[in-house]
Amino acid sequence: MKAFKKGMLYVSVVLTCLIVTGLIFLDAVKKKIPDKLYIYTQDNAAFLMDIPVVGTVYDSSYNTLAENIDFSRKVTICSGDIGKYYVDYKLFGLLPIARTDVEVVNEKYVYSGGFQVGIYLKCDGIYVVNTEEICTADGQNIAPSQSLINKGDYILKADEISLDSKEQLSDIVAKSEGRSIKLLVRRDGEEQNFEITPVKNVAGEYKIGLWVKDDTQGVGTVTYVCEDGTFAALGHGISDNETGNVLEISEGRIYRTRILSVVPGKNGEPGELLGTIDYKNENIIGRINNNTNKGIYGEDAFKLCSDFSPELMRAGGSYEVSKGTASVRFYNNGKFHDYEIEITDLKYGESKNITFKVVSPELLKLTNGIVQGMSGSPIIQNGRIVGAVTHVFVDDSTCGYGIFIDRMLDEEYKKNN
């Protein structure tokens, strides 16, 4: 009997390991499949996912156009006129696992970026960074907001008063004299009401035990500007350091900035661009209206073109990017420089689409690779803007990640096609 139980335990452990391994493998395969794929009209889109899946292509009416496509090999899709298609995938030809929305669009041209700007974002509500305990006059430690308000919440109103600043919230709490306060909070897109009773701290001030912020600012790099004055920057969203959440914003602006120095990166210590921003109205060169995981987006950026005279370039589709030589465009000392990189890996289904290594001796001497503030710098290959720098390797500042430019152009394609 003991031997039987021991055998069953062994079988259970093996089955659990197999299931976990299978789930990890399935997740790895799905991450290589794009949710969205743009192909230019009358073009041949060749790409290699190198995954054990079989695909079927449908048109917008869900009529089958091609089936049993082996995506473990290089696949070429021949596009025609503007239209929408779908590709359904089955793992090993058996298990349905994902779908790609394929859209055939007209070629897109943008002004390449690479220049730095000052960024200011206003949160859409008062953002909760954390909760804390209040030490009261009688020596107690009380956390009034704990178990009610969460990190990442947005406080919209206090006692029916719409909030515009964290100082306004502090003022309402300070004047409460200990009576309960009603807070309207947005959490995961839904509004909820809470009632919190402030407590008096050792200094005699009423507090509710919240660390909050209502804005954020910094230096970043513009990726592209469109002919209508819309622009995109960073290649990733601006997030709160404490929670990692992409901040929800009500408005924002970009400003002229002056880079004073570059702190080169070290292994384990990312470098940074040090600059100054003068937040005067005459220095506003664009308005931000969206902060997403693909970057920040805005409009009215015509001054960027007059200030920097960027090059009009064709945006390359993700299927046009290949491993090998490319360059990162970076503006310094009053002009654009294209610094050589080596693209070492490509992934179609993640935000970290492009993996690369800086090989330019000039850029390595200047920054030792990629530094904070360079996010958004265009990646150029074969005369096309194909992506943007997004992250640096923590343990190797000479290596970084990038996002495909067609991921960033998603809203532009929706608007124009």
pLDDT for 128 beyond 90: yes
Give the tokens for residue 24: 């990890």
What is residue 350's predicted lDDT score, i.e. its pLDDT? 72
Pairing of strands 335-346, 354-358: antiparallel
Query: Does pTM top 0.95 for this prediction?
Result: no
Does the CA dihedral 38-44-47-51 come out positive or negative? positive
pLDDT for 186 beyond 90: yes
What is residue 264's predicted lDDT score, i.e. its pLDDT? 85
Torsion of CA 333, 339, 345, 346, to 10 degrees: 70
Helix (H) or strand (E) holding 402: strand 396-404
Pairing of strands 95-105, 36-40: parallel
What is residue 76's predicted lDDT score, i.e. its pLDDT? 85
Between 237 and 50, whose confidence is greater?
Answer: 237
Torsion of CA 308, 311, 315, 321, to 10 degrees: -100
Cα–Cα distances (Å) from 381 to 23, 41, 86, 362, 396, in that order, read: 36, 20, 28, 19, 23
DSSP string, 290-344: EEETTEEEEE--HHHHHHH-PPEEEBPPGGG--SEEEEEEEEETTEEEEEEEEEE
Average pLDDT over the chain reads 88
What is residue 285's predicted lDDT score, i.e. its pLDDT? 93
Arithmetic mean of pLDDT, 281-296: 93
**CA 393 to CA 220: how far, in whole Å?**
18
What is residue 97's predicted lDDT score, i.e. its pLDDT? 87
What is residue 313's predicted lDDT score, i.e. its pLDDT? 94
Between 329 and 65, whose confidence is greater?
Answer: 329
For the segment 338-378, what is each residue's pLDDT rounded down to a tens digit?
999 999 998 887 778 999 999 999 999 999 988 888 999 99
Arithmetic mean of pLDDT, 402-413: 88
Return left, alpha or beta for 145; rule: phi > 0 is left, psi -120 to 50 is alpha, else beta. alpha
What is residue 2's predicted lDDT score, i.e. its pLDDT? 61
* 68, 54 contact by CB (below 8 A): yes
Within 8 A by CB and 6+ apart from 138, the residues are none
Out of 32-41, 215-224, 233-242, 256-265, give the one with best mean pLDDT: 215-224
If one counts every other C-beta atom within 10 angstroms of the C-beta of residue 23, the result is: 10
The 3 state secondary structure assigned to 348-383 is CCCCCCEEEEECCHHHHHHHCCCCECCCCCEEEECC
Arithmetic mean of pLDDT, 122-139: 88
Residue 261 pLDDT level (bands cut at 50, 70, 90):
confident
Residue 1 pLDDT level (bands cut at 50, 70, 90):
low
What is residue 26's predicted lDDT score, i.e. its pLDDT? 75
For the segment 141-172, what is each residue's pLDDT rounded down to a tens digit?
888 888 889 999 999 999 999 999 999 999 99
What is residue 14's predicted lDDT score, i.e. its pLDDT? 67
pLDDT for 308 beyond 60: yes
Give the tokens for residue 182: 């009603």
What is residue 400's predicted lDDT score, i.e. its pLDDT? 93
pLDDT for 379 beyond 70: yes
Residue 242 pLDDT level (bands cut at 50, 70, 90):
confident
Percent of the chain clearing pLDDT 70 (strictly above): 96
pLDDT for 48 beyond 60: yes
